[in-house]
Structure 1
């Protein structure tokens, strides 16, 4: 559909959706500034908000058919640029500045995160036909949050980062909680439980009450379990 044939109100709505997506860059910058000031909880709060924006902006874009209303603006590219900031760059900075890794390994590990993620973002086959991610989907914001909350120690943290970087190149499947149609209500419920419990744990860190911690672990285990099941099952 030519852009001149699109009603002005619909084009304005499409610009609003792109603006909402672009707000993720502001949240990413705020997270980076918070990390630089040693405010870990604030950093994760901004990254959490950016995660929510990224989770729902695509739904808005598809429902309003933004691509038809503004064909000259590639929302997918816009989304990827912001995702690299919030999913990769800020977490890479976080692991260095907050001493989550052994001395001498922080910079190489951060570089590993940055470079493997470039492959993920450039890979045209990063999603399967049923909307699972193929290979580790560079969700370093989630990984670094887990390492920070679990307090596994620098050596284990380094091993986790190394292994996940390798999984970027291996066709294991990772659940997209809002795009995979199979078990979608349960996926969404587990995602909401994970987000709420994670926010609770970040807000009261370093305290770790049993209820939010168990809910957080259970929701994470559900994600891992569904991803493993889809990987073992193979092609649909």
Structure 2
């Protein structure tokens, strides 16, 4: 079955189904190509979420900033499984979805969080620009590292998830000196082959890890919304606050377990 659509030349060239010099604007797209285009568009919407987070940041609305970064994270968590399921690289061989994903991920995982570090006041006086610069530069290695993933889908080295770092700073209300130490440590760990868990692709304890990932996300959303313009989450919502910490510790432990084992978990 084929679907007839009026589509631009660029899309047809991207699909790899017409000669580069063709000027024909009306062609046929296979259903799988339409699906691939829809998934690429969904991935691209992560850039809009990132832009909206900046809009809220410049309005000094850190809650809105983190919520939009959360939306970008959800998009990034979903588009990869969809791309693999529908094999979109085969449907549109002229378009590299991995590059699209990397561009958006660098923006939402690294660049925007670096701006947050510079703008919000998480760092000690005089450290904001240094910390932001350290983040944007060291993260480039992560995105260029061809050995970033292990065979069992752990990350090798800190995976530049600075969006989660600034989220933790906001929720836990950690002191600026400790925040600066964490930034330096995470930047250094980018180059160290310690493993970090990928919660959606882990093999060991997969059901538990998946369940705790959703619990962690729900707690994070609740705590961000609960904090708003106020502080003192530890005393105002102690159950959610300590629950967030305990689940975060679980992810640290499962990452350290894999590093100590030094070999992939069985499939």
**Bigger fraction of residues in helix:** 1
CA distance in 1, matches of 2:127, 2:189: 19
CA distance in 1, matches of 2:247, 2:98: 28
The gaps in structure 2 that reach 5 residues or longer are 1-14, 19-27
CA distance in 2, matches of 1:56, 1:86: 15
CA offsets per residue over residues 177-209 of structure 1, 9 Å max, x none? 001222221111111011000000000103520
CA distance in 2, matches of 1:125, 1:222: 25
1:171-210 alignment, distance < 5 Å: 171-205=193-227, 206=231, 208=233, 209-210=237-238
Q: 2:96 aligns with which of 63, 67, 74?
A: 74
Aligned residues: 235
More deviation in 3-12 or 165-174? 3-12
SS at match of 1:158: helix
CA RMSD of superposed structures (Å): 1.5
CA distance in 2, matches of 1:56, 1:179: 12
CA distance in 1, matches of 2:47, 2:76: 11
CA offsets per residue over residues 63-120 of structure 1, 9 Å max, x none? 1110110011111111110001100011111111111101111101100000010000
CA contact (8 A) 1:87 1:138 kept: yes
Q: CA deviation at 1:127?
A: 0.7
The answer to whether the aligner puts 1:213 opposite 2:241 as a matched pair is: yes
Q: CA deviation at 1:214?
A: 2.2
Q: Which residue of 1 aligns with 2:145?
A: 123
Task: Give TM-score scaled by structure 1 length.
Answer: 0.96
1:145-156 alignment, distance < 5 Å: 145-156=167-178
Q: CA deviation at 1:27?
A: 0.2
Higher-RCO chain (CA-CA 8 Å, sequence separation at least 6): 1
CA distance in 2, matches of 1:74, 1:148: 35
Moved over 6 A (4+): none
CA distance in 1, matches of 2:152, 2:135: 26
More deviation in 184-193 or 117-126? 184-193
The gaps in structure 1 that reach 5 residues or longer are none
